[in-house]
Amino acid sequence: MPTPKQDTDLTRVLQGLENASSSLRLRAALAVGTTPDPRFIDLLIRRCAIEPEFHVREMLTWALTRHSASMTVPELLNEVRSERAQARSQALHTLSKIGDRQAWPAITRALLTDADDEVARSAWRAAVVLVPEGEEPELAAVLATQLGRGGRETQLSLSRALVALGEVITPTLVAATTGPDPRVRQHAIATERLLRNPDAGFEFAIEEAKRIMALGTTGEEG
């Protein structure tokens, strides 16, 4: 049974995390992470699902990583099944930071293809961290189904995830460059360029892909 002091501590942390001031919420999350206490894990996870400020969410994630993975990971795995998109996204982001590969089975195809871009991006980042050795080609094949998706930031996230898998993505990218959708072809070519020359940057890779496609279209290549 909680003592009066424990009840007071919980109330104080809850009030801090729900304060109207983002700087005070940030300070509360920092305090919890500085002195980890398992009693606060649920509060941190619940706040992740609704916190509007990016920098506060990052501090909440940091605070969760300061606790034992055996206590946080099961709770986070429940969150990835939440109906709230932000809850799924932030739980996946936190799992990627914790890096416990026991969470891998939770990174489902449904999450990797989630209709919400932020959820999908978080799932891609988590997947490349957690994927067991030998399963990279299968993951690459699922990720490749998302080529051409969304705006520049979403496409950059996917390219980075694919490139992080290394050379195993090459056959998948080659196949995608011959598909019927020009957006998919362009994204696949840009990702292949990024794999070959990571220092070039995504914008350069996209421009290269546009040039290659234009040459192919006009029959001027080679």
Closest to 101 in 3D by CA, of 135, 67, 78: 135
Rounded to whole angstroms, how far apart are CA atoms 53 and 124?
22
How far apart, in Å, do the first and last CA atoms of the chain sit? 76
CB-based burial of residue 106 (10 Å sphere; 0-12 exposed, 13-18 middle, 19+ buried)? buried
What pLDDT is stored for residue 81 in this prediction? 96
Structure-block tokens of residue 6? 């424990």
What pLDDT is stored for residue 142 in this prediction? 97
Per residue in 184-206, pLDDT tens? 999 999 999 889 887 777 776 77
What pLDDT is stored for residue 220 in this prediction? 35
Are 56 and 26 in contact, with CB atoms under 8 Å apart? yes
CB-based burial of residue 221 (10 Å sphere; 0-12 exposed, 13-18 middle, 19+ buried)? exposed
What pLDDT is stored for residue 198 in this prediction? 79
**Could you tell me the domains of the chain?**
30-130 (1.25.10.10), 135-222 (no CATH)
User: DSSP assignment, residue 181?
Assistant: -
Residues of the chain falling short of pLDDT 50: 217-222
What pLDDT is stored for residue 208 in this prediction? 76
Are 143 and 112 in contact, with CB atoms under 8 Å apart? yes
Residue 84 makes CB contacts below 8 A (sequence gap 6+) with: 49, 50
**How far is CA 71 from each of CA 44, 57, 64, 68, 215, rounded to the nearest angstrom?**
12, 19, 10, 5, 55
What pLDDT is stored for residue 80 in this prediction? 97
Are 161 and 181 in contact, with CB atoms under 8 Å apart? no
What pLDDT is stored for residue 2 in this prediction? 54
What pLDDT is stored for residue 217 in this prediction? 47
**How far is CA 37 from each of CA 32, 34, 42, 60, rounded to the nearest angstrom?**
7, 9, 11, 13
What pLDDT is stored for residue 222 in this prediction? 35
